[in-house]
């Protein structure tokens, strides 16, 4: 049995994909009454939960799972683990971001709360709606323990959910966290009417910034160039499906945005701006997004801050 924590868009989509491929899945959520009654999530309209997905609000029902996928927003992960009493041998983070409290990624947050568990990360370019519809996707499964990583790769892959493996957990989680920040900035550029050429420039400079920080934190450049970094950056900066992109576009257009929608890049921009300051690193795209999110700068000043940077070698 595979456990999934978090009955939002991504957790439910993963539960559906694994169940369609024959796994028994237990999907935990804090308020699952409507989901259990309708067997269809409001976040994934038209997708019926297969029979072999059991929905539960009791965390003890996940005991004995071969692996538990943690599909909560990044900023909720540490608090959840501190209070939930979850016991599992293998915990797979499915969230993308940097924790504002500890300035670490999900793997360190899980390891601190559950020191005896094997920790892994599932990340890469994939919209929940695509996974739930059974469209083909390729993701990265990162685990520092190579044997456990291989075991999880086989446990969680399906014919349409292809998993590539890496032991570079830092690289995989930083790629997934930082691309959301760049996607907000790409949305700002489009929302402000600056055009596709400016977006391509922003994505490229944003990627350079992602790689710089990740390398300084011990990640490998190849990981950033893979699915979890470059792949997810392209998807998120260019698709209307992305919440981070749409949030940025609303900021750029001076429009409102539903505050209940999960936009991981907003808190992560603030966390990464602090991390960069601590390390004396220059991350202009992240700094601009963090300042915009905090309301510390207006849109024209934000755009000007990027355009007026000193001319230098690429
Ligand atoms: N939706 C997508 O296409 C993808 C999402 N992800 C990542 O998955 C993570 C979750 O995102 P989504 O499922 O899309 O968000 P969502 O907003 O659809 O769902 C989040 C779920 O977490 C629950 N939750 C929030 N705080 C909680 C807490 N303190 N305790 C227990 N449950 C809590 C909410 O009730 C909700 O069911 C994010 O880090 C996101 O970046 C990754 C790949 C694709
Ligand atoms: O991570 C994602 C795609 O890989 C989902 O992106 P959004 O959170 O921006 O919707």
Confidence (pLDDT) at 35: 97
Is there a domain that residue 276 lies in? yes
**pLDDT tens digit sequence for 79-122:** 999 999 999 999 999 999 999 999 999 999 999 999 999 999 99
Is there a single domain that holds both residue 162 and residue 183?
no
Residue where a domain terminates, one of 128, 147, 167? 167
Confidence (pLDDT) at 304: 84
Instruction: Evaluate: CB of 125 within 6 angstroms of ligand 2.
Output: yes
Residue where a domain terminates, one of 167, 186, 211? 167
Pairwise CA distance, residues 245 & 96, whole Å: 15
Residue where a domain terminates, one of 167, 202, 220? 167
Ligand nearest to the CA of 246: 2
Confidence (pLDDT) at 296: 86
Confidence (pLDDT) at 170: 98
Residue stretches of the chain with pLDDT short of 70: 309-311
Domain coverage including residue 290? 170-307
CATH number at residue 284: 1.10.1040.10
Ligand 1 atom closest to the CA of 7, numbered from 1: 37
Confidence (pLDDT) at 310: 66
Write b or e for each residue in 136-174: b if 16 or more Cβ atoms lie within 10 A of its Cβ, otherwise e. Answer: ebbbbbbbbeeebbebbbebbbbebbebbbbebbbbbbb
Catalytic-role residue among 43, 151, 179, 249:
179
Residue ranges of alpha helices (H) inside the chain are 9-20, 33-38, 74-84, 106-113, 128-132, 146-156, 169-191, 196-216, 221-224, 232-238, 243-253, 264-278, 284-294, 299-307
Instruction: Evaluate: CB of 235 within 6 angstroms of ligand 2.
Output: yes
Confidence (pLDDT) at 305: 80
- Could you give the number of structural domains in the chain? 2
Rounded alpha-carbon distances, angstroms, from residue 109 to 11, 17, 69, 91:
19, 26, 14, 11
**pLDDT tens digit sequence for 210-236:** 999 999 999 999 999 999 999 999 999
Is there a single domain that holds both residue 237 and residue 294?
yes
Ligand nearest to the CA of 127: 1
Is there a single domain that holds both residue 201 and residue 289?
yes
Is there a domain that residue 228 lies in? yes
Distance (Å) from CA 122 to ligand 2 centroid: 13
Question: For a substitution probing ligand 2, which of 131, 137, 180, 251 has the most ligand atoms within 8 Å of its CB?
Answer: 180
ipTM above 0.90, yes or no: yes
Residue nearest ligand 1's atom 17 by CA: 262
Instruction: Evaluate: CB of 123 within 6 angstroms of ligand 2.
Output: no
Distance (Å) from CA 306 to ligand 1 centroid: 31
CATH number at residue 90: 3.40.50.720
179 as an active site residue: the answer is yes
Question: What is the pTM (predicted TM-score) of this model?
Answer: 0.98
Distance (Å) from CA 32 to ligand 2 centroid: 23
Is there a domain that residue 312 lies in? no
Instruction: Give 280-308 as a DSSP string.
Output: T---HHHHHHHHHHHTSS-HHHHHHHHHT
């Amino acid at each position: 049995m595979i456990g999934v924590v978090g009955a939002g868009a991504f957790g439910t989509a993963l539960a559906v994909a694994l169940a369609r491929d024959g796994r028994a899945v237990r999907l935990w959520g804090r308020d699952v009454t409507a989901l259990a009654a309708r067997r269809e999530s409001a976040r994934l309209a038209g997708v019926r939960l297969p029979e072999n997905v059991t929905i539960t609000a009791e965390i003890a029902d996940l005991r004995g799972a071969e692996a538990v996928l943690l599909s909560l927003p990044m900023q909720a992960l540490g608090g959840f683990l501190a209070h939930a009493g979850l016991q599992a041998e293998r915990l797979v983070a499915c969230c993308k971001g940097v924790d504002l409290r500890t300035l670490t990624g999900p793997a360190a947050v899980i390891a601190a709360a559950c020191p005896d568990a094997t920790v892994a990360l599932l990340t890469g370019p994939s919209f929940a709606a695509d996974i739930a519809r059974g469209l083909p996707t390729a993701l990265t499964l990162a685990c520092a323990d190579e044997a456990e990583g291989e075991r999880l790769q086989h446990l969680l892959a399906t014919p349409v959910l292809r998993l590539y493996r890496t032991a570079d957990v830092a690289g995989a989680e930083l790629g997934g966290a930082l691309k959301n920040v760049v996607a907000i900035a790409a949305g700002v550029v489009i929302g402000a009417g600056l055009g596709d050429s400016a977006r391509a420039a922003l994505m490229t400079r944003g990627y350079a910034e992602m790689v710089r920080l990740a390398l300084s934190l011990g990640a490998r450049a190849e990981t950033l160039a893979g699915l979890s970094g470059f792949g997810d950056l392209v998807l998120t900066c260019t698709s209307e499906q992305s919440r981070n992109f749409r949030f940025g576009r609303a900021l750029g257009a001076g429009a409102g945005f539903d505050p209940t929608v999960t936009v991981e890049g907003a808190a992560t921009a603030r966390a990464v701006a602090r991390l960069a300051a601590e390390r004396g690193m220059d991350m202009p795209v992240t700094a601009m997004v963090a300042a915009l999110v905090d309301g510390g700068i207006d849109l024209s000043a934000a755009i000007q801050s990027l355009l007026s940077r000193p001319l230098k070698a690429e």
